[in-house]
Each structure stands twice: as C-alpha cells, then as structure tokens.
Structure 1
Amino acid sequence: MPQSQEIDPVFVSIIVAFVAHHVFRRHETYSLRAHALLIFVPPFVIATHFVHRPDGYGTLAHLFAKSLAIHVVALLSSIVMYRLSPWHPLARFPGPPLRKVSELVGAYYAAIGKKATAISELHKQYGSVVRTGPNSLSIIDPSAMSQLWSVPRGPWNIGPKMSYKNLTMMGIQDPEEHAQRRRPWGRGLGQAAIKEYEHPLMARVELLVRRLEEQKGELNLTKWMGMFSVDFMCDMAFGGGTEMLRDGEHTNAFRMLQRGMSIASVFTQVPWLGVYVGHIPGAGAPLRALHKVARTFAAKRLERGSSARDLFHYLNNEDLADAAPPPREHLIGDAILAIVAGSDTTANTLVNIFYCLLVNRSAYATLQAEIDKFYPSGDNPCNTRHYQDMHYLQAVINEALRLYNPTNLGGQRQVPPNGPPAVAGSLVLPPGTIFFMPPFVVNRDPRYFSLPSAFWPERWLIASGRIRFDSKEARVPAPLKQDEFVHNDAAFVSFGSGPINCVGKALATVEMRMVVCALLHKFEFRLRDGWDPREYSDNMREYITLTTSEVPVVLKARW
C-alpha cells in the first residue's frame, strides 16, 4: 500500500495546525484574508487530498468539517501550550496563567471599565513588572520607565480605528513616519499658536461663567465641563462647529464620545476584533458615529476654508505656502484625535480637579485665596499673565492628575519586532514585546509618593522647596514624619515623555488654569447636601480615557 494512504488525516491536521501557528506568530497580520487562509485552507487541502482515498473517509463536506474542527482545536492547543511554555520570550515574567493565554481577560476588564484597577491588583501580587497578556507587560518601575519612553507605539490604535490602514498620528508605529505626521501638530500646538487660541478660549470660559450664573439650584458640573470642552475643541481645531454652552447638548455629542470610548477600550486589548467588527455593516455603532462626526467636522472645515488660524490651518499645511495638503484620510484621522484628546481628557481632568477640591475644603480655600491674591475683585482671571506664578494652582492640577490621570494606563508601546531588544537596566524586553507604564498604578504606589491615596497638593510645594515640610502651610497629614516623606518626580509623567509624548500639554495646561481660576474667582461651590462623594469613584470608569461620573454642585456668585 502506498505510504500516503497509511497517513491518518487527523494526524496530518494536527501537524499542519502546529506548523501554521508557528509560521503565523512570526508574521502576524490583521488581514482577514490571511486569517481565513490560516483557518480554512489547510483543512480544505487535507479534505480534498483524502476524500478520494479508498479507505472510506467520507464525503468532502464531512471530511472538511472534521478537518476544520481538528485544525482549530489543534491550533488553539498549540497557541495555549506555547504561551504557557518556558520557551515563550516572556516566560520569565510573572502573571496569571489566564492572562498569559489570552488578551480576552484584559478585554473583559476593559469592557466593565475596571482595566487599570485590575492591573493595579496584579502589581500588588506580582511586583513591578507583570505579564498582562500573551505578549504584553505592565511596568511600574520609574528607573526603567525613564529609559523606555523612546520605544515606539504599539498596535492598540488599530482596534478603535477598526482598520489597520490610514491610522491616526497616535497609531503610527514607525518612528520616522510618526515624526513626520507629528510636525503639523507641533506647529499647531506650539507657543505661537497657543497665544492665538487664548482669545477663543477666553470667550468660551467667559460664556461658561455667564451660563453657570444663570442656573438656579443644583447643577451637574460634569455635564457643563463636557459641553465647554467640546465647544472649545471645535473652536480651536475646526474654527467652530458646536454651541452646546449656548443651546444645550441637543446632539448628545459628549455622551456619544464616552460610549465610543467604552467600545474602543475593548478593541485596544484585541485589535483584531476591532478589524473584524469593522467589516460587519452596522456593528460598532458608537465608534462609527464618532468617525462620522469627525468626517463631518473635517469636511465642513475644509469646505469653509481657513478664516482663522485654527488647528486645521496647520494640519492642512495652510501655514506653508509651498506644501501640499495631506491626504483627506489623514485629516479625518486627525479630526478623531482632536475630538478625543481635545475634549474628553480635558473635561474629565477639570471635573476631577473640582471634585478633589470640593471634598478637601482646606485645599479649596487655599487655592481660592491664591486666585484672589493675583486677581482681586474687578480683575479678569482669564488673563494669563499671572498663571506661571500661581504655584498652588499648579500643585492642585498636578495632584488631581496624579490621582486621576485621564489616560489611566498611558500609551501602549512595542519593541520593534525586527529590531534589537529594549534594555532598561536589568530589564530586557525581547523584540515584539508590547508594554505600557500605567500612571494610575505608578502614581498611587507608596514607594514613589507618601500617602498615595490622599489629595495633598502641598506635597508638590515641599518637593520643589517652595515650602518646608515642618511649616504650618505644609498641612502634613498625620502621622507622616519628615524622614518618611517620599516624592519621586520620575514616577509622575501625566502627559507622557519622549518623542511621542502628549503634543497638547501646553494648551491643556493653559485651559485648565483658566477654567479653574475663572470659576473659583466668580463662584463659591459646594457639593449637594446628602450626596456621598464615594459615588464618584464608584461610578468612574477606566476606558481609554478616564470617564468621570456626575458631580452635583450648588453655587452662588461671590461678587
């Protein structure tokens, strides 16, 4: 009997599955065609090879179904065994077995909005470096972090984009291409451009003050910060487009943005799932709605042209006489990034600042006194001339960012698959390793900050030498002693670091300072009677960005 007739098709299916897995893991792709070839072609070839044998293996359909089932089971078995084996490149890093096997565990926590909290618990159990996925790590060692900021971005943006093509600037992994796409953003968010944005920012802040002054009784501060941030984002990025502060949130744009972030957070864990969903008509509706809004804003701005030097003036190279405009898809991606980074993160941070102040009345009083010192009654707190000298204001902002960083897990990074390992002291990350350095965890680690869960702005003034630890104004929480005081600036990177840090840091800082100064200058805020502040943390969700919950306040004009 010929040898080929003696080979069992089950055995062949298993061998082919193991070979396919080890070929595929060296050449990973997000192409659905490649995935289909991997899953369906080997069983079909095996079925057609054995169907005409005289051994009686059955019909082609029967043999294909059997081969497909065996192939898939063998493929999954090979994947699981390899990821748990001592031969995996990340085998030496500790972590739960289920997380080593699949990113779907992380996707579950992303779906319920507790991704950062889950990572924090893992670090308590396993240490400073934890394996959080088959090929991913979480790192909270500041000495290693400082050496890893130059590593390129990971593939996380593919999922929310629901495509591996035409990625936004945030999703580009190639350092040279990223630097090229970032240049217009650098011009559009440089100091000269920010000075031009101060006028529309001041107009929006003054409108926010007037609208709040018109309100009677209780109001939801979270809602008003959301409407303000979307309006200013549209002014700054597109030269206008929304009037939520004036007309109300009729479009539900901010809620749509937050719903989109919840789905996008899942897709960052499993980018291939986002690509799959992108091929299903009607699926991923909140994300598609966000993409549609971005397309609409970009199209209207391009049709209208540049009446002012908004962000799109730079992104479209309108400031360069001899430069061609970028492809339209690039501008649409830039619009998505502007909407998310320019409104969602700023609104959430402003809400966090006010929440922290309202539950810490001594800090509230100290900051209000500083604002009154620099801007007495009759002065305009939207004038930025004193902001650099308002050290307690900056300490409050830093402390709120430390406790509630809007990008709670930070940006995902990936060691280039075809390059050398990334080395940070004794830590060696093999090529292809995906990792992140979560501010939510680092900033709440007692090794880096004393009393890490406490809102204590004075810690920043002590660390910078502006006040003494044993002074009255330090307001040191008992029972902390001076020799126990810990403050590691290297662990606080609220806007990222390195060549792919947050390009909008300077504008966001001006925006936060102006809003806080204007509102505390004009109003006296208090929380609604009977509201439990613990509801705020309980209802907060950790998606791609931190999603804040309702903060009910009552306010009255001071003058």
Structure 2
Amino acid sequence: MDIASMSYQNTLLSIAGAGLLTHLIFKRTETHEPSHLAALLLGFPAALTPLVMHHSSSILGAGSTTFLTFWATLGASIITYRLSPWHPLAKYPGPLICKASKLWLAVLSLHGKQFTYYAKLHEQYGDVVRIGKSGLSSILPSVTRLTSASCSTGPNELSIRDVAAVAPMMGPQGFPKGPFWDGRIPEAQTVKPMIALRDKTEHTRRRRPWTRAFSTAALKGYEDIITTRCVELVETLAHQEGTVDMAQWISFFAYDLMNDLAFGGGTEMMRDGDVDGLWHLMEAGQKSAIFMSHVPWLGALFLRFPKFANDLKAFREHAKKCVMARLLRGSPHKDLFHHLIDEDGVAANLPTIFEVISDGGVSFYAARSSKLLKQITRLRLQAEIDELGDDAMDYAKQAHLTYLNSAMCVPHSQPTLSYNPTLSPASTQKRKHASVPAGPERQPALRRRRKNHRAPALLACLYTSYVPKGTSTFIPFFSLHRDPRCFSPLPDAFLPERWLPPAQQAELEPGLFTDTEQENSTVVLNANAFIPFSVGPSNCVGKNLAWMEMRMLVCRLVQAFEMRFGEGYDPGRWEEDMLDYFVTIKGRLPVVLTPRK
C-alpha cells in the first residue's frame, strides 16, 4: 500500500501495532542495554513518523502524534497484560498499583518503611501477596522446575508470610537468589561479591573461607579483641555526662570492632567520632541501593553513569582501600582476612585477589548486628549476670546464662513448642527487629538439559502453591516474626520469657503463661518461623560472631551501668524511627547511664 494513500486511522493503527510488537520484544528479552532501549523506544517511533507526515502540517506535530500513540499503546499493553486473568500470577491477590509496576515499591522504599507496608498488605490480602513486577514488561505465561540456572526474564514478585514456605524456598534444596543484587552491582564488575552470587555452586565455593573465618577455633581467637573493645566502650561511656545516644555509641563500637576483626584495625570512632563520615556514607548508600534492587533493570542502566549513587560507590571504594591496606601491611592477630586469604595455607584452592577485594565491603555490614543490644535492660538479666561476678566476661559461661540466652540468643529446646534445635538462634529483639526486615529474595530459575536447549514448562512446587519461572519470592521477616500463629501470646512484644521452659514461664509470668481464662494464654512458639539470620546455604555466615559479640557487650554494659531512657523519651519511637533499606537504619536511643557500685 502506498504510504501517502493510508488513512489517518490506519496510520495510527500501524503505530499502535508497532507498540504491541515492542511489548512482545520486551517480554522475550527484558533488555536494558541503552542502545537497545534507544532503538526500541525512540528509533522505532522515529522511523514511523513519516507515516503521519501526510496527515500533519508540521514535523513537530507528526512526531508528537507518533511518539504519544506508540508509547501509550506500549504502556497500555503492558499494564493490561499484568492486570489480566491470563497473567501467570493472576490468582494471587495484591494492590493494583503493585501488579502494574514495581516502580511504586521502589519509590516507597526510599522512605524506609517498606517492611510496615508489607505487613499491612498481608493483613489485608493474606499469606501470599503479589507485590510487583520489576522488569520492563512481563514474563511469559509458563512455569519451570527450580534449578540453579539464572533466568533472563525480569521477575514478578510474591511476598509469602507462611512458615511452611521457609524450607522449600530457603533450605538446602531451596531456590537460588533472585535478581535483587543485580541492580546494585555494575554489570561491568566481572567478579561479584559472594552475597550477590546467584549460582549456588559458585556461592558454595566462595563461602568456604568465610566458614573457616567464623569457625569455633577462629572465634576463640577473636575473644580478646572483642573484650578490648567492650572495655573501651564502657570506659568511654563512663566519662559521658547527661543523656547519651546509645544507638550511635554502639554503632561506633561495632564499626571499630569489625575493622579490628576484618582488617586488623584502622578506625577509632569511639575515640574520635565519625570524623571521616564513614558510618554516614555506609547508611546513605543504602538508600539508592534499595531503589535499584526493586527495579534491577533500571539499576543496571543507571549504574553506567559515573555520577549516579555516589555514596554507594564511594563506600565501596573505601572498602576496597581497606582490603588492599590489610593485604599490604598484614595483621598482628588472626583476623577475618587471615582466613579469607588463607594465610595458614589450608585451602585447596586459594581465592583470587579480585574475589577478596569484591567481598571486602561485606565485612562492614556485619557491624549492624549489634543494634540488638540497646533494649536489654531488665532486672532479671542484671541479676543473672551479677551472679557470675568476675567471670562475667567468660564467653563459655555466658553461653549458659538462661535468661541472657532467652533475652538474646537461644530458645529453650521444647519439642512441644515446635522448637527445632538445628535452627539458628537469635534474640527476641532480633525477632522483633531483624537486621533485614524485608527478607532475602529467591527466584526459581530455568533448567537447562543441554546447551542452548531449555527444558519444557514444568512446575516448581513451593509448599502448597506453584511459582512460575522468573517469579521472585521472599519472606518478610518482620511480618513472619510477628505472626501470632507462630508466636503467642503478645507476638509484637519483647518477651524473653517466651523462650524459657514451661516451668520457668509459669514462675516468672504466670499471668501470661498459665492463666487459662485469658484469651492469649495459649503458648505458641514455632522456631521454624524464627529466621533472623536466614536459613540454608545462604544464611548469615557470621551469626556465631554476632552471638559472641552481643553476649560479651551486654554482660559488660549491664555490669557497669544502671540504664534508663532519657527524660521524655517514648520507647515507641524506636520502631517509628527505624528505617528499612534492606539493612536496618536506626534512629536515636537516648539513655541515662548511672555507674553501678
């Protein structure tokens, strides 16, 4: 047909058809290459503009008509499909705005309150909520068996608040990691940090030196380092007057300690304060990082620009400098990097220098685990620690303090309460405020039978449901740890007694645990739902160090001080001020310290 003879209506239909074709291309490729995006979103409608020239009086008018028609059709096609009953996740409930685009959650995450948003969604929609689509288009309506292969299509996403999903999703045979980290790591970075690895075999290989670094023997060598920093914090706090911000001081303590443990020293925040702005830089970088995690295709695109996410890039450069300095100067003691670079010569395969540098920044984020210490001020805990006297800093004896373990670390083994002794223990406060409130992302991936041949569409079973290929899933720790079906009574409360044996529960809190006339008297403790350090092959490798650090510092602080909140401080503000940028950003905690005699 002669272009000049096409009617205006047919011309617009041709442009709309091009928009639909572009949607199909995005469905197949999920491309975020700038040249490909420019060709599809700009070049395609530009090439169609001459069709409208015969029906317009100016090039500007023709171009405006073409581009608006093309983009409107493309957008309408994408949104219509995502909201349609033909979408593979159509049966899962969720807000329309989340079904239409993950950009909504990406923007919401900048406010740091995504964990409370997820909690509200689960209260409204149930245990499985469809919360978004982070790719440019939508996945094809097919499903596949879970494997370790990566999936090229951008994910839809389900939030699952159900203890039955923990093992199949995160256990030894669970799903590989999702694309959460893809938007935070530049594509040009060929060696990814271990935490970002989606290949399960490669992750296992890279994790081995970390496992040695946090073994029982290695932890024994860290005791003196931790003790020294605990003593320094107590002595520093003893010279402070009036109300102190314990959140800030424990952050400084944790940062100094992790530098000692990871790099053989290098910072003195407890002595000098954050003079270089490193703690601020670490936290500020998380804001842009969480946005990019929600829309990894956009993060991969933006990270190509040198001025984007400056805080994040600056802190990673600082971490690399710390690693290089440690490699050059060595360490006076067996620190974390002693094991990571295998200075004992026990590893069959040494990690490359690029792998060591890439993993260096992860050590800094371990400093955040100490935030749990700030609310443990009960008299029962104080009395138990006082009984140790001069042995209060003996880690072996700390491990047997019943109330300390219940307030912080180890739930009592009670089969009748569904306690699984193989699970990672952690504190009740960590149950309330996990360091990663939203939980880590997982994604069923494509299985490959042989090169360039994909398996037929098969089902990947996740507890009672099915997860289509390319669908990201995660368990919101904040919501699961407050589920009354798993923790009762008072699922939202800091209640160390819930982890004690029944006899001690009845003795210490008879009104809660023995009064059968009370509606909330039924004791429920399902430790399978208690996963603050995650579970499975990708769980927190440093959890044993976190327990040691928390026990030792709590014992030292409780022995040294009487603690109360600052005048006029509402403890409810702690949760209100807490921000979630994948890792938790905490607010102020004003405390008055009185030295004990």
Superposition TM-score, scaled by structure 2 size: 0.84
Change (3 A) 1:331 1:40: farther
1:470 aligns with 2:499: no
Residue 395 of structure 2 aligns to which amino acid in structure 1?
A: T
Give 1:91-110 correspondences, 5 Å limit: 91-110=90-109
Is the contact made by 2:94 and 2:131 (CA closer than 8 Å) also made in structure 1? Answer: yes
Residue 102 of structure 1 aligns to which amino acid in structure 2?
A: S
**How far apart are residue 205 of structure 1 and its match?**
1.1
**How far apart are residue 284 of structure 1 and its match?**
1.8
Change (3 A) 1:425 1:325: closer
1:192 to 185, 192, 217: 217
Is the contact made by 1:9 and 1:67 (CA closer than 8 Å) also made in structure 2? Answer: no
Structure 2 gaps of 5+ residues are 134-155, 409-426, 448-454
Q: Corresponding residue for 1:361?
A: none
Q: Corresponding residue for 2:176?
A: 152
Give 1:506-545 correspondences, 5 Å limit: 506-545=544-583
Distance in structure 1 (CA, Å) of the matches to 2:19 and 2:356: 42
**How far apart are residue 170 of structure 1 and its match?**
1.4
Structure 1 gaps of 5+ residues are 359-363
Distance in structure 1 (CA, Å) of the matches to 2:221 and 2:459: 43
Per-residue Cα deviation, 1:277-309 (whole angstroms, up to 9, x for no partner): 323332322212222221221221223245533
1:402 to 431, 436, 454: 431
Is the contact made by 1:348 and 1:547 (CA closer than 8 Å) also made in structure 2? Answer: no
Per-residue Cα deviation, 1:180-235 (whole angstroms, up to 9, x for no partner): 22222222222222222222112111111111122222211011101000001111
Distance in structure 2 (CA, Å) of the matches to 1:316 and 1:47: 59
Q: Corresponding residue for 1:37?
A: 39
1:391 aligns with 2:414: no
Residue correspondences, number: 539
Q: Corresponding residue for 2:280?
A: 255
**How far apart are residue 443 of structure 1 and its match?**
1.1
Change (3 A) 1:469 1:240: closer
Is the contact made by 2:264 and 2:330 (CA closer than 8 Å) also made in structure 1? Answer: no
Change (3 A) 1:247 1:70: same
Q: Corresponding residue for 2:372?
A: 349
Q: Corresponding residue for 1:427?
A: 465
2:495 to 437, 445, 456: 456
Q: Corresponding residue for 1:372?
A: 386
2:161 to 131, 140, 145: 140
Residue 406 of structure 1 aligns to which amino acid in structure 2?
A: S
Residue 106 of structure 1 aligns to which amino acid in structure 2?
A: L
Per-residue Cα deviation, 1:30-49 (whole angstroms, up to 9, x for no partner): 4333333332332244347x
Change (3 A) 1:259 1:482: closer
**How far apart are residue 246 of structure 1 and its match?**
2.1
**How far apart are residue 403 of structure 1 and its match?**
0.9
Q: Corresponding residue for 1:336?
A: 361
Residue 177 of structure 1 aligns to which amino acid in structure 2?
A: E
1:227 aligns with 2:252: yes
Change (3 A) 1:23 1:190: farther
Per-residue Cα deviation, 1:409-466 (whole angstroms, up to 9, x for no partner): 111111114575431332111111111101100111212211111211101114xx5x
Q: Secondary structure at 1:470's aligned position in 2?
A: helix
Distance in structure 2 (CA, Å) of the matches to 1:369 and 1:321: 44
Residue 553 of structure 1 aligns to which amino acid in structure 2?
A: V
Distance in structure 1 (CA, Å) of the matches to 2:386 and 2:77: 67
Is the contact made by 1:138 and 1:436 (CA closer than 8 Å) also made in structure 2? Answer: yes
Q: Corresponding residue for 2:441?
A: 412
**How far apart are residue 67 of structure 1 and its match?**
3.5
Q: Which moved more, 1:170-179 or 1:157-166?
A: 157-166
Per-residue Cα deviation, 1:377-407 (whole angstroms, up to 9, x for no partner): xx14332121221121121112111111111
Per-residue Cα deviation, 1:24-80 (whole angstroms, up to 9, x for no partner): 2233244333333332332244347x59x9x56788887566443333222211110
Is the contact made by 1:130 and 1:137 (CA closer than 8 Å) also made in structure 2? Answer: yes
Per-residue Cα deviation, 1:325-345 (whole angstroms, up to 9, x for no partner): 5455433331221112x112x
**How far apart are residue 268 of structure 1 and its match?**
1.7
Distance in structure 2 (CA, Å) of the matches to 1:303 and 1:38: 49
Change (3 A) 1:469 1:556: closer
Give 1:354-365 correspondences, 5 Å limit: 354-355=374-375, 357-358=376-377, 364-365=378-379
Residue 171 of structure 1 aligns to which amino acid in structure 2?
A: A
Is the contact made by 1:458 and 1:474 (CA closer than 8 Å) also made in structure 2? Answer: no
Q: Secondary structure at 1:113's aligned position in 2?
A: coil
1:72 aligns with 2:93: no
Superposition TM-score, scaled by structure 1 size: 0.89
1:204 to 210, 222, 229: 229
Give 1:224-373 correspondences, 5 Å limit: 224-320=249-345, 326-340=351-365, 342-344=366-368, 346-350=369-373, 354-355=374-375, 357-358=376-377, 364-373=378-387
Q: Which moved more, 1:211-220 or 1:64-73?
A: 64-73
Distance in structure 2 (CA, Å) of the matches to 1:380 and 1:147: 43
Q: Secondary structure at 2:258's aligned position in 1?
A: helix
1:552 aligns with 2:590: yes
Q: Secondary structure at 2:28's aligned position in 1?
A: coil
2:536 to 498, 515, 519: 498
Residue 39 of structure 1 aligns to which amino acid in structure 2?
A: L
Is the contact made by 1:160 and 1:287 (CA closer than 8 Å) also made in structure 2? Answer: no
Distance in structure 2 (CA, Å) of the matches to 1:421 and 1:505: 34
Change (3 A) 1:78 1:278: same
Is the contact made by 2:245 and 2:588 (CA closer than 8 Å) also made in structure 1? Answer: yes
Q: Corresponding residue for 2:86?
A: 87
